[in-house]
Structure 1
Amino acid sequence: MELSEIDLNLLVVLHQLLRERNVSRVAASLGQSQPAVSNALRRLRECLGDELFLRKPHGMEPTPYAQQLAEPVAQALGTLREALNVRASFDPAHGQRCFTLALSDVGEIYFLPVLMDALAAEAPGVTLRCVPVAHEALREEMASGQVDLALGSLPQLQSGFFQQALFRQPYVALMRAGHPLAGTRKALGAAQYRQAAHVRVVAAGTSHGQVDTALERLGVARQVHLTVPHYVALGHVLAETDLIATVPERFARRALGPFDLVMRPLLLRLPTNTIHQLWHAHLHRDPGHLWLRGLVARLFGDLPA
């Protein structure tokens, strides 16, 4: 098929349908009527020779062909968007721009206070919008330009994206200051670790699950009394209980003061946690993006570029 055979506006509708799986929401996001979106879908079906979407009880389900088109269409639209909005330079002191960052909740806790303070001093016209790294459409959203930069330990983005390692950190045990294991500065051994009551953090979309894998390999079974999906309430839980948590060191340091916690190193041979910043190829040479990545590397990086 030649590009002259298809209205490129139809690809915008296709991209939104692949994201929303709902005609009403697509119509609202594009500022069109529902009949207009339905008509565009009809034209797409005729042009591409495929049903593209099938109606199911839970919504519109893309066909295998539509799923195959998702990433290439998102990437092509993102490239066009960046080409049409290219900037010759970016002046952070006077520039106006909103960047969208993908972060886990632990990433928000660690990165955002420092980053927002730096923006207030160096780039007052720059604002941030944050989205979760666990979003199933994150790859497509980065390819289409809806997400500028992802920060964290994100195995789902290790292939097909530019990345820069910022720092490595060990896992440590975190607990309240009055915890029975908090009185010694020594590293916790396997026996103490087994006997303690634990809170386990799942943190979907990140590589923190490697802790569970490593403990299983070592034959160390935790007494898990609580499992939570993220880190956001962890400080409150630890401050009021005798539970301990196995967490990345830099998160632990952020939580010590606000919740009167202490951290202890572990004698267990757990893997280190490497934090990257990751971005799509179409933003690689964008002046504003270059500046943002440089700022992040300067504020948080301690590994060779």
Structure 2
Amino acid sequence: MDFHGIDLNLLVAFDALMDERNVTRAAIRVGVSQPAMSAALSRLRTLFGDPLFLRSAEGLLPTPRARDIAQPTAQALRQLEAALVKKPAFVPQEASLTFTLGLSDYPAFVLLPALAMALEKQAPGVSLNVRAFISRDSAVDLLDAGTIDVAIGVLPVHPENRILTKSILSDEFVTIVRRDSAAAREGMDMETFLALPHVLASPEGDRHGLVDQALAQMGKHRTLALTLPQMFAVPAVVARTNATATVMKRVVSGSPALRDLVLFPPPVILPPIEFHLIWHRKSDAHPAQRWLRALISSEAALLP
């Protein structure tokens, strides 16, 4: 390959195809016709000696060669754009726009109130539109479609080069029981833990959570009395029943039922849960988007 003979427009086309996974959408993004984008893909295949993208029911699937060159290509193009195109500064106090956030339940309850208050003070003309998602990989679909500007949730199962992430907050697990229960008085050992009925919060409907996985490694299992998708309903359920539950600490500390509960360290070893800021590479350098991500990160860092 003659590096000096490469048409940079082909790399722009490749970057758009990598992000959009669709010839028509990539053409619209670059500002060319669909036949022109198809021709660019043909020239790219010849240039790299590789199919680069294979058609499937889910859209264009990148080959290993395409994945290898995707990140360096995107990074080089962003650096060129930053050097050659001067973008206007984003002034939050003067801005009038709407950001769309993809949020799972946890950041919606834990982080959104602080973020809304910060926006009210720093950017009164900026509004938020929230889209809920349950499956962690749904965030990628929403970002690919341009439906949301940024997501906050657990890392997607299948990481993609076009999707960027940053860990912004974490939480630990606690085991809870009703304050006037025998377990609250006597303590939470493994025998007591297994003897109690359990409540499991499972947004995706899986009845085998992290606790069950840890118990299975020990050759043990628990009895599930209730499985529900809303984690923030769990403290109130436990406060009114003989059941126990193992949930994230902020879920309990922010609940009106807190005064009726006793918290214990779980009798099984559980890793903390990390929540990430998730965004698309195509919006990485956008001034308003960069400001929003910085604001979210700073507000998350202030959470107790």
Same fold (TM over 0.5): yes
- State yes or no: 1:171 paired with 2:166: no
For the structure 1 residues 28 and 165, does the alpha-carbon distance in structure 2 shift closer, same or farther, using more than 3 Å as the test? closer
- Any gaps of 5 or more consecutive residues in structure 2? none
Aligned match of 1:6: 7
* Deviation, structure 1 residue 23: 2.9
Deviations 1:197-245 (A, max 9, x none): 33445678xxxx76555444555522235666xx5x2345775685654
Aligned match of 2:298: 297
TM-score (norm 1): 0.64
C-alpha distance in structure 1 between counterparts of 2:56 and 2:139, whole Å: 20
C-alpha distance in structure 1 between counterparts of 2:256 and 2:248, whole Å: 16
Contact 1:170 1:273 in 2 (8 A): yes
Tell me how many residue pairs correspond in the alignment: 285
C-alpha distance in structure 1 between counterparts of 2:83 and 2:181, whole Å: 57
* Deviation, structure 1 residue 249: 0.7
What code does the residue aligned with 1:61 have? L
For the structure 1 residues 249 and 212, does the alpha-carbon distance in structure 2 shift closer, same or farther, using more than 3 Å as the test? same
Aligned match of 1:265: 264
What code does the residue aligned with 1:172 have? V
C-alpha distance in structure 2 between counterparts of 1:225 and 1:73, whole Å: 52
Aligned match of 1:105: 105
Contact 2:232 2:251 in 1 (8 A): no
- Stretch moving more, 17-26 or 94-103: 94-103
Deviations 1:93-139 (A, max 9, x none): 3345766767543223211122012211222244557786934896x
Aligned match of 1:23: 23
Deviations 1:57-79 (A, max 9, x none): 55433222122223333333444
TM-score (norm 2): 0.64
For the structure 1 residues 237 and 82, does the alpha-carbon distance in structure 2 shift closer, same or farther, using more than 3 Å as the test? farther
**231, 234, 241: which one pairs with 1:234?**
231
Q: RCO (CA 8 Å, sep 6+): is it higher in 1 or 2? A: 1
Contact 2:166 2:278 in 1 (8 A): yes
Q: CA RMSD in A?
A: 5.1
Deviations 1:173-216 (A, max 9, x none): 357x7x98599477533233212333445678xxxx76555444
* Deviation, structure 1 residue 248: 1.1
- Any gaps of 5 or more consecutive residues in structure 1? none
Contact 1:148 1:279 in 2 (8 A): no
Identity level (%): 31
